[in-house]
Amino acid sequence: MKKLLAWKNFKKLADLKITFVCLMLLFVLTLWGTFYQYNYGLYAAQKKFFHSWFFLFLDFIPFIGAKTVLLVLFVNLLAASLFRYKFKLNKLGILTIHYGLLFLILSSFYTHYASRESVIVFEEGEELNYSLDYFDSELVVYVEKAMGIREVVAYDFNSIQDGEDFYLPKFNLRITPIYFYSHSTPGNFDDQAKNASGINSLLFLPLPKERESTLPGGVFRIKQAEYGVDERILLWEGERDALALEWGGRTHYFKIQRKHYPLPFSVKLREFEKKEHFGTSIAKVYQSEILYRKGDEDYPALIAMNEPFRSDGYTLFQSSFSVDESGNERSVLATVKNRGYYLPYAASLIISLGLLIHFLIALLKRAKLKR
Amino acid sequence: MVFALGSCTDSAAYREYEVFNESAGRFGQNALLEENLLARLRVKKLLRDGITWTKPPAWKEGEAGDFRLAAFLTDDFLEITLVHFPDAAGGIRANINRWAGQVNLAFSPRKISDYINDLVLYKTSSDLPYILINVLDIDENISDENTENVLVAIFLFEDEILFIKMLGGDDQLKKQENDFLNFVASIALKK
């Protein structure tokens, strides 16, 4: 009986009123997002209206986000496809459109969740071919190659386990964590570990509210059997310099840093421009003039608040800027690696196919009636 | 399914990768930059196998010579020369200094590095890569005071470098700039 009741309820979800409300909400969110984008930029608008389940209007009135609306619409369409339209040849077009729409929503969720978001922070004249993770860190060992290229071996800091060694095959290096913290600060007692900045030890700190402010660190024992290296080292993400150790005629550098994601291209910041609202220090417009470089291809491009730059499956948004203590401005580009970006195109094709079938069926019906 | 697919990220515990180091990134790869640029500019073809071009109608043929592959004269007596030298002829930086000297200018190494770092690789209509040097663009502060300028397109072949150079008054150069750029874009290897 209960099952039957649930089944009936699910059927109710196919109600057209739900579809109508969802479409109206999407209309409102799109319109609102478009106006918001004008002042706050595309990236901020996407985050607030389209990548959220709920958001706060005027900082205290909750309003539904596009993710929630799309989830409800997905269930509504699924229910409609299952119950409202029984499979018949003359309903083939309608059903194809519905399944195309379902696929479109599903693929949007996939591209949203599978995309990886990182950040590029650079100052004028700087050229980078990697982006940084907002939150996660890595323990890296690297050597400097010719032409300013750094060869890096990285181990995800979150994957380090208490009492468990990990091995970096590239340098035949075994690392044993003595102790490590997700958030830490330099301490006073002497831990007898080598360090690049004269830090003696680390103290545990509770995780900060802002996850991006965490400073992981730890004391590790490293062993390189081939060259008889056996050292106790201290690494902390707050350090500017890397710890240098020599073996096999090369200098190997050790560091804890924000995760680096190599890009298939490089971007150079040629000029960063910030305009402020008259009489205030509030930014009105900020934009980056960049030089895109890949292989033997390079061209200038502008990334503004409402003009992202797209290439190689990546989208670079002008998300913000920062000013350091010396007054140097740095441009901040949110870097999104889009996975499955072709899926919405495939969904659109299915929908178009459905429309075509539907019109053809209607045409055939009309022709039949005339006869 | 969505969440299963979403978990297919490259978040492996162990990774190997290559990136620019801080100095390469921050200071535009200064010394390394020229090597990079030359490597990207070089085509695995021989200049001696011959090249072709389309001359703007207003240009008249001038005299060719040992290193001078061809020369042209404009109506207002500007000379455009196509000269070739072995390998990279001392590199881009050294030649920029030389051309600057020809119009009585001198730039700091940092200014030249910044300029080289900003150079864009163009392609002719037949896909040959080249770069364009406009000496007065190297330092904006000098530009206003100087009346002479040099515009050079650089092509790099397997064993030779080709400079297409136009030197003269900046106003004259600006008048001829379009013809010059079209001429450069018409350079192609003989088939």
* Local confidence band at A69 (pLDDT 50, 70, 90 cut-offs): very high
Q: Measured between beta carbons, which residues in chain B are less than 8 angstroms from residue A266? A: 20
User: What is the residue whose two structure tokens read 């008259």?
Assistant: A278
Residue B96: partners with Cβ closer than 8 Å, 6 or more residues away: B107, B112, B115, B116, B133, B135, B138
Among A160-164, B47-51, B105-109, the range scoring the smallest mean pLDDT is B105-109
Model-level pTM greater than 0.90?
no
Determine the residue among A111, A113, A314 to mutate to test chain B binding: the one whose Cβ has the most chain B Cβ atoms within 10 Å. Answer: A113
Scan residues 113-152 of A and list those with Cβ closer than 8 Å to B: 113-114, 116, 122-123, 125-130, 138, 144-152
Report the chain A residue with the minimal C-alpha distance to residue B18: A151
pLDDT for the residue A321: 81
From the number of C-beta atoms within 10 Å of its C-beta (0-12, 13-18, 19+), residue A3 rates as exposed
Summarize pLDDT for B43-87 with one digit per residue, the tens. 888 888 889 999 999 999 988 888 899 999 998 889 999 999 887
Q: How far is CA A76 from CA A96, A159, B49, B165, in A?
A: 16, 40, 69, 69
Sign of the dihedral through C-alpha A41, A43, A44, A47: positive
Check pLDDT > 60 for residue B5: no
Residue bearing the bigger pLDDT, A88 or A246: A246
Residue bearing the bigger pLDDT, A334 or B110: A334
Min Cα–Cα distance to chain B from A285, Å: 24
Residue B138: partners with Cβ closer than 8 Å, 6 or more residues away: B96, B100, B105, B107, B111, B112, B115
Note whether A300 contacts B: Cβ–Cβ < 8 A: yes
A263-285 b/e (C-beta count within 10 Å ≥ 16 → b): beebbbbbebeeeeeeeeeeeee
Summarize pLDDT for A115-143 with one digit per residue, the tens. 888 999 888 888 899 999 988 899 999 99
Determine the residue among B21, B23, B34 to mutate to test chain A binding: the one whose Cβ has the most chain A Cβ atoms within 10 Å. Answer: B21
Residue pair A350/A99 in contact by the 8 Å Cβ criterion: yes
Residue pair A315/A57 in contact by the 8 Å Cβ criterion: no
Summarize pLDDT for A266-322 with one digit per residue, the tens. 999 988 888 776 766 666 778 999 999 887 778 899 998 888 999 988 999 998 887
**What is the average per-residue pLDDT within A90-114?**
88
Nearest CB to B9: which of A114, A122, A297?
A: A114
Decide if A150 and B18 are in contact by the 8 Å CB cutoff: yes
